[in-house]
Amino acid sequence: MEANLALGFLFVVLGALCGGSWALPSKFADPKTPWEVLWGPFFFLVTLIIPTIAGPIVARDIVATWQAVSPWAILGPLVFGLLWGSGSMTYGIAFSMVGLSLAYAINSGTQVVFGWLMPLFVTQGAFKALGSTGGIIIVIGVAIAVAGVAICGYAGVLKSRHLAGQAATAEEKKHGARFVLGLFVTVLSGILCACAALAFAAGGPIMAKSAALGNPPWAAGFVVWMLVLWGGALSAFGYCVFKLCMNKTWSHFKAPGIGKVLLLALAMSLFHDGAIFFYGLAATYLGELGGSVGYAAFMCGTLVIGNVHGFRTREWQASSPQAVRWILIGIAVLLGAIITFATGTYIQTVG
């Protein structure tokens, strides 16, 4: 048991390292590289190539599993995956607009809120569970998360005002306005990314059938993730193809330096799907603690590591001390929200 817990938390750490680092390589792309030239290959790898190759390695009898469930069990993860892909796409845009630190903080907090809220409307008896001790603690955690997102947003507004006050050119002022828009894009990305929770609610029969065919829980979960990622390809990768055509930037794939761009996209995709893989393993080894303590440790680790990268790459260097103080407060509040949420989940699980 102790060995399983140790392995579980090791996988949590690896998952958090991947989850908090997957967008970091995008900071090292040439500023002149069009957004879609980097993110197009990334989404192509993340949503199509990696899951298609890894799926048969990770889980057995995938096709038989899909054939044994109802069409809705297949369609649900695909449709909600399309929405998740829209969230991932806007998340990528948010990184370029507000930076790693704010994007990670606001997106994570929004996902906690809506990832809990959305399944309430599709899970039978979910509202009744809110009256329990664990349910009340979860609601408190969600309320704290809302406050954390608001505080981080306020920090972003302070940063925007400070930058606008220092702007000397029309171009710099335009960037300040774009930054504020980026805050709204980040919140939208969190709402849409939370649709993954609905995808798994709809894909429950797939996981049950996959487990019945001999797959461990983490592998059964990946059978659903394959559909979510494929659905996400329609929106995320499809949007990049649209941008490549609209902006006529296909020629950049023949330009000098494209090798570096593709390597950055590959690194991003391996970190991204690595986070999914390692957290799935962690949840299995942690057992009952996987959805509560493991989830809290993973989300907190991802949030902290993402912000460490943001501060290390000097995203807050030109900001006012007040803005920096508020983003640190916001991160602390979000960490508290995640721990509170996980505590309520644990009480519900063992109760």
Give pLDDT tens digits for 36-84. Answer: 999 999 999 999 999 999 999 999 999 999 999 999 999 999 999 999 9
| Per-residue tokens: 36 | 């879609």
What was the pLDDT predicted at 230? Answer: 97
What was the pLDDT predicted at 288? Answer: 67
- Segment 198-209 shows an average pLDDT of 90
Please answer whether residues 51 and 229 qualify as being in contact, where contact means their C-beta atoms are separated by less than 8 angstroms.
yes
Instruction: Please check whether residue 15 lies inside any domain of the structure.
Output: no
Instruction: Please check whether residue 70 lies inside any domain of the structure.
Output: yes
Instruction: Please check whether residue 96 lies inside any domain of the structure.
Output: yes
Nearest to 303 by CA among 337, 267, 268, 326: 337
Instruction: Please check whether residue 249 lies inside any domain of the structure.
Output: yes
Give residue 56's domain range. Answer: 33-276+289-350
Q: pTM, whole model, 2 decimals?
A: 0.88
Residue environment code for 81-115, b if the CB has 16+ CB neighbours within 10 A, otherwise e = bbbbbbbbbbbbbbbbbbbbbbbbbbbbbbbbbbb
Instruction: Please check whether residue 7 lies inside any domain of the structure.
Output: no
Please answer whether residues 306 and 267 qualify as being in contact, where contact means their C-beta atoms are separated by less than 8 angstroms.
no
What was the pLDDT predicted at 156? Answer: 87
Q: Is 179 or 267 the better-scoring residue by pLDDT?
A: 267
Cα–Cα distance between 17 and 199 in angstroms, integer? 25
Instruction: Please check whether residue 23 lies inside any domain of the structure.
Output: no
Please answer whether residues 156 and 181 qualify as being in contact, where contact means their C-beta atoms are separated by less than 8 angstroms.
no
Instruction: Please check whether residue 2 lies inside any domain of the structure.
Output: no
What was the pLDDT predicted at 282? Answer: 83
Cα–Cα distance between 233 and 255 in angstroms, integer? 25
Instruction: Please check whether residue 25 lies inside any domain of the structure.
Output: no
What is the residue-wise DSSP string for 286-323?
HGGGIIIIIHHHHHHHHHHHHHHHHHHTTTTTTS-HHH
Domain tally for the chain?
1
